[in-house]
Amino acid sequence: MFSFKRHRLEFLFVVLAILAFSSAAVGQSITGSISGTVTDSSGGVIPGATVTLTGDQTGGTRTANTNGEGRFSFAALQPGVFSINVEHQGFQALEQKGVVLSANESLALGDLKLQPGQVSETVSVVTEGAIVERESSDLTARLTSDQISLISTKGRDITSLLRLIPGTSNDDDIEAVGEGFGTNLPNISGQRGRSTVTTVDGLNASEPSGSNKISMTTNQDAISEVKVLRNNYAAEYGNNGGAIINIVSKGGASDYRGSTYYFLRNEALNASPFFTNKAGLKRPLYRHNIWGFNFGGPVQIPKIFPDKERDKMFFFFSFEKPHTITPTDPVFVTMPTALERAGNFSQSIDSTGKPVVVIDPLTGSQFQGNIIPPNRINKSGQALLNFFPPPNSPGGRTLAGAAFNYINQKSVDVPKHSYLVRFDARLSSKDTVYWKGQWWTSDNEGLGTSGWPSGDGNRWGISSHYLYTDNGWTANWVRVFTPQIVNEFNYGMRRDTEGFVPSTGVIDGLTRTALNYTAPQLFPDNNTLGLIPRVTGWTSVAGTAANINWLDRWGEVGADYIRPSFADNLSYLRGNHSYKFGTYFERLLNREAPGGNWSGTFNFGTSSGFTTSLGSTGYSYANALLGNFNSYTEQSGRPPGSRLR
């Protein structure tokens, strides 16, 4: 009677779960399952055998009895290495060690054969090699903990190791972990990288705006394994069209373990680049200093929480602090000379290599001596030319023959840090939980950082910060109602920000006040930083003329949120069949930092449409000194950041 009632309650519970979750997609997770069938030496099934599963890392156990078909199953298991012990009256005990369960795996052990004998006798089997997949049609691949820890990568970014997986097409090796605001994902099984979804412990780790990047960076020494679902995966992963990359963080164990490390790159160990030597520049700074440590074990607090058995609660902490200084190619540009800033163009050469002829728009004739009289010079136009530094390499020519008079080379300075902390706890024989939080910061400072106007190839000296942070946490609770019914609940939140910040002192040299720029502006209230206009049109100047240009989003911050992400999965074993039901919900907000042409943009370039009668002198620097421009644009409104739901 008791058995009938118990099965009736189980059946009712499953029916309610189906009704509750029938309209939702099945929830994503990183847990897997281990199943098998207990038989005797002749192949007959053995009902009622006691099967005990023990985690090698923490010592936690789960117990189940085989059903009428001799079958057992353990659902919602964290990835790891396990030992299985099978006992039944009249048979020798069977112990199978080294059973490796990867993320999202349905591991079928097949038939576990018991030999006749006493329970006190034990037959031990050590699992070697991969077990043939019999429970799922998934096409998967895996990076093991040994591969992650033993194979060197240039940038110490986990995405570099994905090239070991069959069917991937990768970019060049990652220069440094996390890059600017994430690293590019490979194309997997013919699908574009942007169609791939990446998770860290079940929480979406992809770049929220939809690019092909993983932006929730996790340092390599904090990763236990990576599981890639390439194709044919189960319905619970049906919210995308490409591959799924599941990253699993490390956790604590019953023993205290830790490590420290330091990796170094320095320009003293490198040859100087060819173009740097050709330009007569010093060897650029090229320094990667990466140090970190991790430590984990059981949580033991004397008198308060001694846990002498070391099987109740565990912790793991990882810290990494990369600091990379990476050189960029030299920049060869043209600056206005001291004579040109004063209005004297008697020695100026144009883009064709011929002497400049400066025409007076009022008379249509050349200025006497090719010199603009001081009383004709527009002070605000002159202020724009005076912003530029003086030439440091007059008369220079590139290998292609282009003229220049200014050279600059600056390395990109990127200090970063990564924290990860995780707690695992066994609250009872039926309840296990874990909580993991991670924090990532990357501060990129240099010329042309992320967000710089596209197409601007002469980033000669206006320096900026791109400050990126990405923080998130995940909680997981597994409840074993009965050996046949197991529920898993996963909850997480995430927030990333990107800030566009001028380098120290840059704003001071670009303000209208500092340069004595007094020309009026159409919509001055939008120019909250009080900057001079940008200038991006200097046609007729020899070589590549230096622009006055910067990020549209200086002084602004964008933020993305996942709040919340949760999933609930119910696993049910009945006879030879395993059922899984669940729901998954994710709310993602993408808020980009507002950008715009707040201070205005001048074009002093010469063109067929900008004639002498319209004010053109025939030379861009002379146009600026007279205050005559080809075009001017300025944004009339300053909208808030866009938000997509």
Flag whether pLDDT at 26 surpasses 70. no
How far, in Å, CA of 613 to CA of 615, rounded? Answer: 5
Q: What is the pLDDT of residue 96?
A: 93
How far, in Å, CA of 174 to CA of 159, rounded? Answer: 8
| Between 202 and 14, the higher pLDDT residue | 202
Q: If pLDDT is split at 50, 70 and 90, which confidence band does 5 have?
A: very low
Q: If pLDDT is split at 50, 70 and 90, which confidence band does 16 have?
A: very low
Residues of the chain with pLDDT > 70, as a percent, come to 91
Q: How many CA atoms lie within 13 A of 337 on its CB side?
A: 17
Mean pLDDT of 491-502: 93
How far, in Å, CA of 261 to CA of 188, rounded? Answer: 32
**Environment class of residue 243 by beta-carbon count within 10 Å: exposed (0-12), middle (13-18) or buried (19+)?**
buried
H helical segments located in 119-173: 145-150, 158-161
Flag whether pLDDT at 9 surpasses 50. no
Residues whose CB is less than 8 angstroms from the CB of residue 498 and which lie 6 or more positions away in sequence, other chains included = 181, 450, 451, 466, 467, 468, 557, 558, 559, 593
CA dihedral (270, 271, 275, 281) in degrees, to 10, reads 80
Q: What is the pLDDT of residue 199?
A: 93
How far, in Å, CA of 138 to CA of 232, rounded? Answer: 5
How does pLDDT run across 327-374, given as a tens digit for each residue?
888 889 999 999 999 999 999 998 888 999 999 999 999 999 999 999
Average pLDDT of the chain is 88
Report which of 170, 205, 169, 171 is spatially closest to residue 189, judged by C-alpha positions.
169
Between β-strands 139-143 and 122-126, what pairing exists: parallel, antiparallel or unpaired?
unpaired
Q: How many CA atoms lie within 13 A of 494 on its CB side?
A: 31
Instruction: For domain 139-249, give the CATH superfamily.
Output: TonB-dependent receptor, plug domain (2.170.130.10)
| Between 323 and 126, the higher pLDDT residue | 323
**Environment class of residue 379 by beta-carbon count within 10 Å: exposed (0-12), middle (13-18) or buried (19+)?**
middle
Q: What is the pLDDT of residue 293?
A: 97
Flag whether pLDDT at 209 surpasses 90. no
Q: What is the pLDDT of residue 280?
A: 80
Mean pLDDT of 248-264: 95
How far, in Å, CA of 407 to CA of 397, rounded? Answer: 11
Flag whether pLDDT at 644 surpasses 50. no
How far, in Å, CA of 53 to CA of 483, rounded? Answer: 12
How far, in Å, CA of 358 to CA of 366, rounded? Answer: 6
135: phi then psi, degrees, rounded to nearest 5: -100, -15
Report which of 177, 133, 171, 169 is spatially closest to residue 153, judged by C-alpha positions.
177
Q: What is the pLDDT of residue 637?
A: 84
Q: What is the pLDDT of residue 207?
A: 86
Q: What is the CA radius of gyration of the chain?
A: 33
Residue type, 273: P
Q: What is the pLDDT of residue 520?
A: 94
Q: What is the pTM of this model?
A: 0.86
Instruction: Evaluate the omega torsion of the peptide bond into residue 394 and state whether it is cis, within 30 degrees of 0.
Output: no
Mean pLDDT of 209-218: 87
The H or E element containing residue 402 is: none
Flag whether pLDDT at 452 surpasses 80. no
- Length in residues, the chain: 645
Q: What is the pLDDT of residue 113?
A: 93
Q: If pLDDT is split at 50, 70 and 90, which confidence band does 455 have?
A: low
Mean pLDDT of 592-604: 91
H helical segments located in 174-327: 274-278
- Report the CATH architecture of 31-126: Sandwich (2.60)
How far, in Å, CA of 455 to CA of 548, rounded? Answer: 14
Q: Do domains 31-126 and 139-249 have the same CATH topology?
A: no
Lowest mean pLDDT among 2-16, 20-34, 342-356, 584-598: 2-16
Q: How far is CA 621 from the centre of its chain?
A: 43
Q: What is the pLDDT of residue 22?
A: 39
Lowest mean pLDDT among 8-22, 50-64, 93-107, 565-579: 8-22
Mean pLDDT of 520-539: 93
Q: What is the pLDDT of residue 127?
A: 63
Mean pLDDT of 307-321: 95
| Residue 575, SS3 per DSSP | coil
How far, in Å, CA of 268 to CA of 456, rounded? Answer: 32
How far, in Å, CA of 536 to CA of 392, rounded? Answer: 21
List the strands of the sheet with 203-204, edge to edge.
139-143, 223-231, 244-249, 197-200, 203-204
Q: If pLDDT is split at 50, 70 and 90, which confidence band does 517 have?
A: very high
Would you state the structure tokens that stand for residue 383, as one six-digit string?
């202020």
How far, in Å, CA of 639 to CA of 493, rounded? Answer: 28
Domains of the chain, residue spans: 31-126, 139-249
How does pLDDT run across 394-443, given as a tens digit for each residue?
888 877 778 899 998 888 999 999 999 999 999 999 999 999 999 999 99
Flag whether pLDDT at 27 surpasses 70. no
| Residue 160, SS3 per DSSP | helix
Lowest mean pLDDT among 41-45, 136-140, 245-249: 136-140
Flag whether pLDDT at 237 surpasses 80. no
Flag whether pLDDT at 379 surpasses 50. yes
Q: What is the pLDDT of residue 587?
A: 92
